[in-house]
A = this chain, B = another copy of it.
C-alpha cells in the first residue's frame, strides 16, 4: 500500500506508521504537530519508505498535494479530547467534522481510493444494548466529540456511495499503550507524580472503561483493510472485558508502590457527555480472525511503564497549547 496517515505524529497514528513501515508499505505521515510529537516518528524517519509532511487538515491545498500518489488514507487527525467539548465546541466541528470532509475532498482530488477512520464507541451515546453491536439502535449523541465523529462517519459513507471510494470505520473504545499521552491513565500518573499522598478522581470511581491495547487495535485495522471489501466496512474495536476506574487506579498505585488517599467527586460520570460504560460487541471484527492479545491490566501497566521510561512525553505534552 501507499499510505497517507493523518495525525501521524500522534499516539495511535505514529504506532500505525511504524507497523505499516514494518510490513513494507510506503508511508506519507501528515501532522500539524499541535498535539503530536515529531519524536514519535524518529524511528520511522530512518526508513526510506517514509516521508513526513507538516500540515494541517484544515489546509486543503497542502493536504491534497501531500496525498498525491497515495491509495490508502488512514485518518487519525482529530480533536481527541472528548472532555472539553462544551468548553470549545468549535474545535470538534473544525478538526473532526470539517477536517474529515477536507480529507475526503483531498481523496477525490488525489485519487486515493480507501479511507480508514478512527471513530469512537462514544458514538453510541448512552447505549441501550451492552455490549453494543455496530447495528445497535440508532443512537442519540451525548457529546460534541461523539457528534463530530458521527458526522465524519456519515460523510465517509456518503462519499463511498457517491464517489466509489471504500470506507473503513473503526469505532474504538479508549486505546492505550506506548506513546499514549492523554486520558485516564495519563492523568492519574501525573496527579500521583505531583502528589503521591492523595488524588482527586472525577465521578465516583465506578465508571467502567474498556481499554484496548494499541497494537491489538492496529492488528484489527490492518486485518480489516486486508479482508473486508464492502463499500462501507464498520467495525467496533474493543477489549473482551472492562475494568472500573477504581481498579485501574489500584493497578497503577500498586506498580508505583503508592497508597494515596482517593477523593471521589461523585456522580456516575466523569464529565458532561461521559458514558458510564462503553463496552462494544466485537464479533464482527473477530469473524475476520482477530482477537485482542493484551488484557486491560497489562495494557495499563505497559502504558505506565512507557510513561515512567519517557518522562519527556509528559514534559513536552504540558508545553503544548491547550
Point out residues on A near B: beta carbons under 8 Å.
85-86, 89-90, 93, 97-98, 101, 104-105, 125, 134-144, 146-148, 150-151, 153-155, 157-159, 161-163, 232, 234, 272-273
Contacts and interface: CB of A to CB of B under 8 A. Distances in A.
A11 to B, nearest CB: 24
Contact of A162 (B93, B140, B155, B272): B272
B141 A138 contact: no
Q: Is the interface of A mostly helix, strand, loop or mixed?
A: helix
Contacts of A138: 134-139
B151 A147 contact: yes
Contacts of A151: 97, 147, 150-151, 154-155
A270 to B, nearest CB: 14
Given A101-B93, A135-B138, A138-B137, A154 B161 contact: no
Between A141, A155, A158, the greatest number of chain B beta carbons within 10 A of the residue's beta carbon is seen for A158
Nearest to A135: B137
A234 B86 CA distance: 22
Contacts of A93: 98, 101, 155
Between A98, A104, A135, A150, the greatest number of chain B beta carbons within 10 A of the residue's beta carbon is seen for A150
A152 to B, nearest CB: 9
Given A89-B105, A147-B151, A157 B142 contact: yes
Nearest to A231: B140
Contact of A144 (B85, B137, B155): B155
Given A141-B158, A146-B158, 14 more contacts: A89-B105, A97-B151, A136-B137, A137-B138, A138-B138, A141-B153, A141-B155, A141-B157, A143-B161, A144-B155, A144-B159, A147-B155, A150-B150, A162-B272
